[in-house]
Structure 1
Amino acid sequence: QAAKAISSPVPVEWYPTLAVVMVSVGLMLTASFF
């Protein structure tokens, strides 16, 4: 359990939120080029 927590600093519950944030940032960066 401890080793897994160290290898994965981000909680599993945050993955959906991080995915949405990454997509939003990617869209904003893409839009900034046009």
Structure 2
Amino acid sequence: MTTIPTEPLPEPEVVPSGDPTPIPDTPPPAEPAPV
């Protein structure tokens, strides 16, 4: 069995300091957004 070198995982998207809400990995539930 040949050992494959594990590539470094890509860094997660850095949330800008201006945006207080971090981007979740999974999409948000389909809820009616308050207008």
Fold match, TM over 0.5? no
TM-score where L is the length of structure 1: 0.25
TM-score, structure 2 length as denominator? 0.25
Q: Which has the larger radius of gyration?
A: 2
Greater RCO (CA < 8 Å, at least 6 residues apart): 2
